[in-house]
Amino acid sequence: MSSDYAEYVRRTALRLPTVGIDIGGTKIAAGVVDGEGRILEQLRTETPHKSKSPKVVEDVITELVLALADRHDVHAVGIGAAGFVDAQRARVLFAPHLSWRNEPLQEALSDRLGLPVIVENDANAAAWAEWRFGAGAGEEHLVMVNLGTGIGGAIVHGGRLERGRYGMAGEFGHMTVVPGGHRCPCGNRGCWEQYSSGNALVREARELAAAESPVAQPLLDRVEGDVASITGPLVTEAAQEGDPCAVELLQEIGQWLGLGLANLAAALDPGRFVIGGGVSAAGELLLAPAREAYRRNLTGRGFRPEAEIFEAELGNTAGLIGAADLARGRARRFRTVKRARVERAERVSRTGVGRRRTQWWTPLER
């Protein structure tokens, strides 16, 4: 049944261009995406500081959409943001990078733009994009795991995002893998993302370097002895150039990744895992040890089919593409965003000037 549904989604999806917006910790990216998942044009700007009011972020989003609408037909807008989004995809309950707290973003923006708007958790948006156009295409039971600064995750099952009852499914990064382990900003200890993420990679690399271990010397040479300059991409680059210490660091992250995936397989039994996020750029240096650890820890190993573990294909545009594609489901063929209309409505609401008050007819009594 679910297989038919997935096929139905593919066949009947509208092909109207929509805008996807990816709100990150430092940058906001906006792009026009066509029905094949191609980005026709993309703009970027700085994310307003956390201290700014929600209205400032809405202004930035509106400006980006209008700038794109000057050159493209835009039929709907999808917004992907880190944080908790309610199951109706209307409110952002909490966003770590922004001042949004129970923010009715969908209503505010769709009123302003005169268009359908959806809000989605960034990991959900990325997983949807990989399922529609990337490494998850054709898979009925897909689990995506994003290794960024933390771990984001999402489930696509039978052509639908599995959001959970309250919209918060997929927070895999906060499964406890080491009771009493490293402290996590979520308040607990030993969360998976403390062992298998960009932050974990950097923490381990810096710890090793700060301990003045001779094995970390080549890594230290790359940053001229400045431990604080060691970053995830730097370790990945060193590993790709054959630095044994960097290879080992990624191996360790990969092993923790495999262990967590085995736990997820015990709970969810997917057909495929897609691994995205910045750390996945390490490719097989990360995924080979992950597959090995996965097999070692899998429940019922040797007696069950094993999920494949693939690297994501859409890179850091997945969130934007996915948000745009999810919004497409609400698009209307004859409705596009018009700059003149949006600006006029804003002027009227700000100044009251332009409101049609002078009526030559007598309105009917109500």
What does the binding site for Zn ion look like in residue numbers (CB under 5 A)? 174, 184, 186, 188, 191
Q: Between 186 and 228, whose beta carbon lies closer to Zn ion?
A: 186
Measured from the CB atom, the residue of 16 and 253 that comes closer to Zn ion is 253
Residue 191 beta carbon to Zn ion: minimum distance, rounded to whole angstroms: 3
Give a three-class secondary structure readout of 244-273: HHHHHHHHHHHHHHHHHHHHHHHHHCCCEE
Note whether 73 and 121 are within 8 A (CB): no
Distance in Å, CB of 78 to Zn ion, minimum: 27
In this complex, which beta carbon is closest to Zn ion, that of residue 146 or of residue 317?
A: 146
Q: How many CA atoms lie within 13 A of 39 on its CB side?
A: 20
| 65 vs 191 by CB, closer to Zn ion | 191
CB of 289 to Zn ion, least distance (A): 23
Q: Minimum CB separation from Zn ion for residue 198, in Å?
A: 15
Nearest of 161, 164, 81, 129 to residue 312 by alpha carbon? 129
Closest to Zn ion by CB, 42 vs 188, is: 188
Angle at CA 118, nearest 5°, toward 11 and 3? 30
| Calpha distance 323→154 (Å, rounded) | 14
Torsion of CA 229, 231, 235, 241, to 10 degrees: -70
Our CA dihedral for 91, 93, 96, 100, rounded to 10 degrees, sits at 60
The token pair that represents 315 in the structure block: 């890179």
Min dist. Cβ of residue 49 to Zn ion (A): 24
Terminal alpha carbon distance of the chain:
53
Greatest alpha-carbon span in the chain: 89
Cβ of residue 96: shortest distance to Zn ion, in angstroms? 12
Looking at the Cβ atoms of 203 and 338, the one nearer to Zn ion is 203
